């Protein structure tokens, strides 16, 4: 590569993030292909399966297996037979892209799914929240090298960041985090999530589906995300930067 700086051009070596097609299959049947960073794919498969309500609970995921097929990667998820029958009835053909949410849902109801309200009880101090925001910068090794990936972090109010996952796609990073939390048998509702992206409705939807009470985004939310957070009783924070943030819904979970 060539780097131009201060009106000079010089040869250089750079590190770039990898992005590969990842196919998710259920009982061997193709369901979705997404472009993702080829790491933590079992977490991705489990998180996607739960956050998209393909199963009613993680216990309905019976087996996960990944394999390479040419230039693509495949992850096969074996789920409870009744859930697989429901999945076939959806008749979806989804393609996930780096900057895209769910495409191809046949009805508005299928795309704008309404999770149940999250439970109450979480309380986070503003000091602890901003300490976690500062901590997150040092917990993104892939982004530090490439500058092109998103992160999702799970934070315990009194202990700081516990788990971080990175991916070129913001949805993928969140699903990888959810999958990692499920595999570690964490009580997801006892902590909160920080994402290094905007808070679109899909991010709120995924978070609420698994019981996250507080979602903190580095960038802005969308209007639909704010309305969904209101009805799901989730606390949504945007523009979370050192020394500032904006609370868009249910501020009672944050204290000075």
Q: What is the pLDDT of residue 10?
A: 73
Distance separating alpha carbons of residues 68 and 119, to the nearest angstrom: 40
Fold classification of 124-255 is Cytidine Deaminase; domain 2 (3.40.140)
The secondary structure of residue 221, as a DSSP letter, is B
Residue-wise DSSP of 124-160: EEHHHHHHHHHHHHTT-HHHHHHS--EEEEEEETTTE
Q: 70 has which bridge partners?
A: none
pLDDT tens sequence for the chain (256 residues): 666 777 777 766 667 878 999 999 999 999 999 999 999 999 999 999 999 999 999 999 999 999 987 777 999 999 999 999 999 887 544 444 444 444 445 555 556 789 999 999 999 999 999 999 999 999 998 888 888 899 999 999 989 999 999 999 999 999 999 999 999 999 999 999 999 999 999 999 999 999 999 999 999 999 999 999 999 999 999 999 988 999 999 999 999 9
* SS3 assignment, position 192: strand
* SS3 assignment, position 235: strand
Q: What is the pLDDT of residue 129?
A: 97
Q: Give the chain's radius of gyration (CA, Å).
A: 19
CB contact at 8 A, 241 and 137: no
- For 20-111, CATH number out of 3.10.20.10, 3.40.50.360, 3.40.50.980, 1.10.238.10 equals 3.10.20.10
Residue-wise DSSP of 107-129: SHHHHS--PPPPPS---EEHHHH
**Residue among 100, 103, 123, 232 flagged as catalytic:** 100
Q: What is the pLDDT of residue 69?
A: 78
* SS3 assignment, position 246: strand
Catalytic residue status for 100: yes
Domain ranges of the chain: 20-111, 124-255
CB contact at 8 A, 231 and 209: no
Q: What is the pLDDT of residue 109?
A: 58
Over the range 82-97, which residues count as b (16 or more CB within 10 Å of their CB) and which as e? Answer: ebbeebeeeebebebe
* SS3 assignment, position 247: strand
């Amino acid at each position: 590569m060539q780097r131009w700086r201060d009106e000079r051009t010089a040869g250089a070596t750079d590190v770039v993030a990898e992005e590969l097609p990842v196919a998710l299959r259920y009982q061997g049947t193709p369901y979705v292909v997404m472009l993702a960073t080829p790491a933590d794919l079992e977490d991705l498969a489990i998180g996607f399966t739960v956050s998209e309500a393909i199963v009613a609970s993680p216990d309905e995921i019976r087996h996960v297996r990944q394999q390479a097929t040419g230039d693509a990667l495949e992850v096969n998820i074996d789920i409870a037979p009744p859930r697989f029958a429901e999945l076939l009835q959806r008749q979806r053909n989804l393609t996930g892209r780096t900057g895209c949410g769910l495409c191809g849902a046949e009805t508005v109801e299928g795309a704008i799914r309404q999770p149940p309200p999250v439970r109450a009880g979480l309380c986070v101090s503003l000091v602890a929240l901003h300490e976690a925001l500062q901590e997150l910068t040092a917990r993104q090794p892939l982004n530090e090298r490439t500058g092109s990936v998103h992160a999702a972090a799970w934070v315990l109010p009194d202990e700081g960041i516990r788990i971080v996952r990175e991916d070129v796609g913001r949805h993928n990073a969140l699903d990888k985090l959810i999958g990692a939390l499920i595999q570690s048998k964490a009580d997801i509702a006892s902590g909160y999530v920080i994402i290094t992206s905007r808070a679109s409705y899909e991010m709120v939807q995924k978070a609420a589906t698994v019981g996250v009470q507080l979602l903190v985004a580095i960038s802005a939310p969308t209007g639909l995300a704010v309305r969904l957070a209101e009805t799901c009783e989730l606390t949504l924070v945007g523009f979370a930067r050192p020394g500032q943030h904006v609370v868009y819904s249910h501020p009672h979970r944050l204290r000075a």
